[in-house]
Amino acid sequence: MSETGRRVSVEDLATFITRALEAAGLGSEDACKVGKLMALADTIGGDAHGVFRLPQYVSRLKAGGYNSKANIAVVNERAATAVLDGDNAMGHLVMSRAAEIAIKKARTTGIAWVGARHSNHAGPASIYARMPLEYNMIGVYVAVGSANHLPPWGGTEMLLSTNPIAIAVPAFERPPIVLDMATTVAAYGKVKTHAQRGEPMPEGWMIDREGKPLTDASRSNEGFLLPIGGPKGYGLSLMFGILAGTLNGAAFGRDVVDFNADDTTETNTGHFIVALNIDAFCDVGEFKKSIDSVWEEMKSSPLLPGYEEIRLPGERSHRVELDRRSNGIPIHAALDVALAKVASELGVEPL
């Protein structure tokens, strides 16, 4: 992500988002929770899923597309599972609740899987997968993406989304290993940031309806994203959609509402989170040290021509986080204009 633009502190960003959401109708406690999670998204480099989404969230809040007085409730429960009905709350509220429940259950049962329906876009997958880490647990998070951007393999009707997965594993002295990936070559959020910044996309991200490469991000609605590994990425996207959507009674396939194009229709977004208690498998300290060893081992591989280093998943994000916590979060000029407009329309103090 681009590091251009003025820098603002994590706290200033969180409080700006909070006051904007509150002015748009969200309750004060909820606005504060979402503000912190959105600022966290930017802090760890999830630029396409943090404050960048604020104008869209505010539009949806003002249009009544969210339930700002939602009653998030468990509707089905076993010792190690739960299904949450989000009552059309903002996704951040639903999935942080889901993570809390999963962590609590996994303390005794060893694992817990909590699914949600009637939720909404919740920001970057990794912020939820990371939540179990401080409890010495591994986190897994999967979501049905908030708009369909690819067809089944060999088709042309966009029935599938980027359906991302995040997996976070704690280390001892090293940062946690955190994979956060779309099942497509590029996440749609990246296409959106390229479009906003007027930057062309690399070949291989998207094709048009004839199967030809599409590189103009502003024309993204004329084509579709490509899954990783062709039919394999299609298979992953499909299975994640079933597990995060269908199994929870949430939208999947033709029922998915294009959250980017519609501010009022309830999205019925589905997600799930898994918390896996390391202590149920092995000694926690030994495990964390062995993850440090995985770091060392991967890093020690000789390099292919043209590469400067081996990276672990989450390593770039960790470096970005250290920089941004010290030096602030860069706000790209185009985003700055959009945020000033939101503040002005809501009558709140700008960022």
Q: Which of positions 260-289 make contact with its own copies (CB under 8 A)?
A: 276-278, 280-282, 287
- The residue from 71, 173, 261, 303 that contacts its own copies (CB under 8 A) is 303
What 3-state class would DSSP assign to 327? helix
Report the residue from 37, 84, 142, 177 that binds its own copies according to the rule CB under 8 A.
177
Indicate the pairing of strand 165-169 with strand 137-143: antiparallel
Considering only residues 16, 128, 141, 252, which one is a binding residue for its own copies as defined by CB under 8 A?
Answer: 252
Write down the least CB distance from residue 253 to its own copies, Å. Answer: 5
Nearer to its own copies, 173 or 210 (CB): 210
Nearer to its own copies, 222 or 349 (CB): 222
Q: Residue written as tokens 């898994």?
A: 274
In angstroms, the first-to-last Cα distance of the chain is 20
Residue pair 101/114 in contact by the 8 Å Cβ criterion? yes
Closest listed residue to residue 286, CA positions, set 276, 294, 274? 294
Nearer to its own copies, 65 or 241 (CB): 241
Q: Which of residues 131-150 bind its own copies (CB under 8 A)?
A: 138
Site for its own copies in 34-73 (CB under 8 A): none
Q: Among 164, 134, 181, which residue's Cα sits nearest to residue 278?
A: 134
- CA-to-CA distance for 169 and 133, rounded, in angstroms? 7
- To its own copies, the closest distance from the beta carbon of 59 in angstroms equals 30
One residue of 2, 4, 28, 76 binding its own copies per CB under 8 A: 76
- Structure tokens of 318? 């960790």
Task: Figure out which of the listed residues 173, 261, 306, 326 binds its own copies, where binding follows CB under 8 A.
Answer: 306
**Which residue among 65, 91, 115, 139 contacts its own copies (CB under 8 A)?**
115
Query: What token pair was written down for 290?
Result: 């062995």
Query: What track of x and - describes contact with its own copies for positions 7 through 36 (by CB under 8 A)?
Result: ------------------------------
Tell whether residue 84 is a contact of its own copies (CB under 8 A).
no
CB of residue 105 vs its own copies: minimum separation in angstroms?
8
**Between the CA of residue 292 and those of 74, 130, 173, 283, what are the distances in Å?**
37, 17, 7, 15
Measured CA to CA in angstroms, residue 269 lies from 35, 37, 193, 210 at distances of: 20, 18, 22, 30
Sheet bearing 223-225, strands edge to edge: 213-214, 206-208, 223-225
What distance in Å separates the CA atoms of residue 23 and residue 17, rounded to the nearest whole number? 10
Binding residue count for its own copies, defined by CB under 8 A: 76
Question: Binding residue for its own copies (CB under 8 A) from 90, 167, 206, 217?
Answer: 167
- State the minimum distance, in angstroms, from the CB of residue 157 to its own copies: 4
| Burial annotation 35-48 (CB, 10 A radius, 16+ → b, else e) | bbbbbbbbbbbbbb
Determine which residue in the list 2, 4, 28, 108 makes contact with its own copies, applying CB under 8 A. Answer: 108
**Contacting range for its own copies; rule: CB under 8 A; set: 59-67, 261-269, 295-303, 330-338:** 295-303
Residue 110 touches its own copies, criterion: CB under 8 A: yes
Q: Determine the interface stretch with its own copies among 55-63, 78-86, 120-128, 188-196 (rule: CB under 8 A).
A: 78-86
Smallest gap from residue 346 Cβ to its own copies (A): 38
Return the half-sphere exposure (C-beta side, CA atoms, 13 A cut-off) of residue 54: 39
Footprint on residues 219-248 left by its own copies (CB under 8 A)? 228-229, 231-233, 235-236, 238-239, 242-243, 246-248
Nearer to its own copies, 15 or 246 (CB): 246
Contact 17, 53 (CB under 8 A): no
